[in-house]
Structure 1
Amino acid sequence: MLTTNQIAAIEFLSVRRAQDRLRHLRELGVVFAFRESYLRGGTSQTRYALGYLGARLIAAQRAERPPAPKAYTESLERLALWPKLEHQLGVNDFFCTLAAHRNPARLREAGRDGEVDGLTQWWSERRCTEFFWKYLGGGRETRLRPDGYGCWEEDGRTVRFFLEHDTGTESLTKVTGKLADYAAFPTDAFGVLLFSVHSTRREIALRTALRRALGGSEPGFVIATAARDDSTFGHADGPAGPIWGLWTPQGGDTVPRRYRLAELPQRGPSVEHSASNTDQPFNEAALDPNDREMSRRIDTPQPEPADPAGYVDDDDDLGDVTLYDDADDDVYRAPTAPARPDVHRPRRTRWAA
């Protein structure tokens, strides 16, 4: 589900054009729309999801069985009343702000049509849960549940990241408790962990809680934090701008320096862009769940990552820390033979957001 402003940011030149197009699609039944009324008066922005006719069109395009009308209608009703809807809209806003840098209408108007820099992967929480899991043996497994996973490309740099979108409704103990899953999974082989919190005060408290939870030890992966108030997310580039503060056990509660998203340590595989990787937008650099290299990264113990502490203290350059392994075996290539079946790992299913 996306709001009017989110859809306008990633597809249209103006909100008015988006409203006109969405109104026509709503009249045709292609999209489902509603507003939330507030207790003190007023309503929210219009929220849009794929309507039943739209779902049938997508199913026909993919040669899939269309959903049952009654069941699909009930799913839309549940979505409108979903307790986590506001949180999910916040997650979507983060990714839509990044995706807006690749708005095709604006790129065409600026004569930059065809550029692929920007957001090149956007996976939902459910898609992440299906892919980022590891069998530990003895009937145990670890499964990551980030709010999203993305890949940002800018000026030749590629940063893959897990997103934890914090609204302040969970205790910091519960928030830092998620680190155990990230530590048990080879997180550093796939990206850095971003904590987006609602205020600067919350960010300071989170950084203190991280130091207390980890006891001064390295987590085994890179962590960066940012607040969504005017002091950080108020930057013109949004989450792509210089708002991220790297966290280290030796650092203090405050952030001595902020980095652009593209300046964070590069982690994860280098995936060659391909339109065949996925049928979802903003996924040219998406990971292939059936590629053996991806399974190897999950199942093979990873070496200890480079200490990112130098990023916080070095105000001149980020080059004193090894960020990215450009060795040939880290470059993604489509498998030339069927992947070897793994008795420990049930087959992953594809899911489209």
Structure 2
Amino acid sequence: MTATIALTDRDTRILRALHTHRVLTTPQIGELFFNGTYSRAAQRRLLKLAERDTVDRFVPRQGHWNAPYHWTLALEGARILAGRQGLTPQQIGYRPDAQRRMRISSQLPHTIGLAQSYVAFATNARATQSASLQRWWPQARCQTNWGRHVRPDAYLRWRQNDTDVDAFVEYDTGTEPLARVAAKISRYRNLAEETQLRSPVLFIVTGPKRLTNLCRVLDVGGGWVPVHVTTLDQLTYPGPARPIWRRAGDPACTLRSMIELT
């Protein structure tokens, strides 16, 4: 029997975030909606939501022995979100089979890394004076808009001191050959030439060696497409508002902040 609890506004925002990002860990939810990574309030509330069958949880089979719980949107949660729009779960893109497959998918590290990138942008914007994360379009919406040319992981708008930076986001786990990653920039260049959309492309990588290698091979935009690279650790701290972005092809390896990427 499903437990009955009153959903708060924060609960609804958690459900929406799970729908958008597909999977979030307890620390990520704690950072986004509570008072930090190790928030006990986050743990308690998520368990309450699980009792109501609005969220599900799992620990990755191939994960570290002390990996945190990973949370997904459950069917009842999808019904709640859809019902508030007068739609069905299927109409908002909820697929129970896809949710189950994610638990054992080889794409799980990419999904979690991309979610952590979002968490870093969102929390750093909150902590930075006059900054805000105005937009985060997930992969599905990006594909609808630009799928004929490119398939970014996300598209964001960062606003700081009345300056807007729109950018494509590519989260790189390091598994793709460098040549294949470099080929993406040619497609971004084609998009820019056809539509005049010359938003920077932000690559977020898992370590400094991959960063160095990508900066070497990604300078193929022909001036049409600025490409900037950072590591997930740097994005998390000190954060995107700080000078952590290295432009591909820059021999001086100058580091720039978000508002310097315009």
Shorter-chain TM range is 0.7 to 0.9
Match of 2:42 in 1: 18
Match of 2:109 in 1: 86
Per-residue deviation, residues 269-300 of structure 1 (Å, max 9, x unmatched):
xxxxxxxxxxxxxxxxxxxxxxxxxxxxxxxx
Q: What secondary structure does 1:49 align onto?
A: strand
Give the aligned length.
234
CA–CA separation in structure 1 for the residues paired with 2:207 and 2:89: 43
TM-aligned CA deviation for residue 99 of structure 1: 1.1
CA–CA separation in structure 2 for the residues paired with 1:72 and 1:167: 25
Kept after mapping to 2: 8 A contact 1:94/1:239: no
TM-aligned CA deviation for residue 97 of structure 1: 1.2
One of 207, 210, 221 as aligned partner of 2:215: 207
Alignment map for 1:199-278 (pairs within 5 Å): 199-211=207-219, 214=220, 218-229=222-233, 232-233=234-235, 235-236=237-238, 238-248=239-249, 251-252=250-251, 255=253, 257-265=254-262
TM-aligned CA deviation for residue 27 of structure 1: 0.7
Sequence identity (%): 27
One of 145, 151, 155 as aligned partner of 1:145: 151
One of 175, 186, 192 as aligned partner of 1:180: 186
Q: What secondary structure does 2:259 align onto?
A: helix
One of 99, 122, 146 as aligned partner of 2:136: 122
Match of 2:119 in 1: 96
Q: What secondary structure does 2:141 align onto?
A: helix
TM-aligned CA deviation for residue 16 of structure 1: 1.2
CA–CA separation in structure 2 for the residues paired with 1:26 and 1:43: 20
Alignment map for 1:327-338 (pairs within 5 Å): none
Match of 2:9 in 1: none
Match of 2:28 in 1: 6
Kept after mapping to 2: 8 A contact 1:233/1:243: yes
Letter in 2 for 1:193: V
Q: 1:128 to 1:234 in 2, by over 3 A?
A: closer
Letter in 1 for 2:237: H
TM-aligned CA deviation for residue 76 of structure 1: 2.0
Moved over 4 A (4+): none
Kept after mapping to 1: 8 A contact 2:143/2:151: yes
Q: 1:22 to 1:263 in 2, by over 3 A?
A: same
Q: What secondary structure does 2:240 align onto?
A: helix
CA–CA separation in structure 2 for the residues paired with 1:17 and 1:4: 11
TM-aligned CA deviation for residue 55 of structure 1: 0.8
Q: What secondary structure does 1:130 align onto?
A: helix
TM-score, normalised on structure 2? 0.80
Letter in 1 for 2:104: L
Alignment map for 1:40-79 (pairs within 5 Å): 42-67=65-90, 72-79=95-102
1:194 pairs with 2:195? no
Per-residue deviation, residues 249-269 of structure 1 (Å, max 9, x unmatched):
xx32x61x211112211xxxx
Q: 1:228 to 1:102 in 2, by over 3 A?
A: closer
TM-aligned CA deviation for residue 246 of structure 1: 2.1
CA–CA separation in structure 2 for the residues paired with 1:5 and 1:188: 39
Letter in 1 for 2:49: L
Q: 1:72 to 1:245 in 2, by over 3 A?
A: closer
Kept after mapping to 2: 8 A contact 1:2/1:47: yes
- Larger Cα-atom Rg: 1
- The runs of 5 or more residues in structure 2 that have no matched partner are 1-22
Match of 1:159 in 2: 165
CA–CA separation in structure 2 for the residues paired with 1:233 and 1:5: 16
Q: 1:260 to 1:35 in 2, by over 3 A?
A: same
> Which of the two has greater helix per residue?
2
CA–CA separation in structure 2 for the residues paired with 1:239 and 1:45: 25
TM-score, normalised on structure 1? 0.61
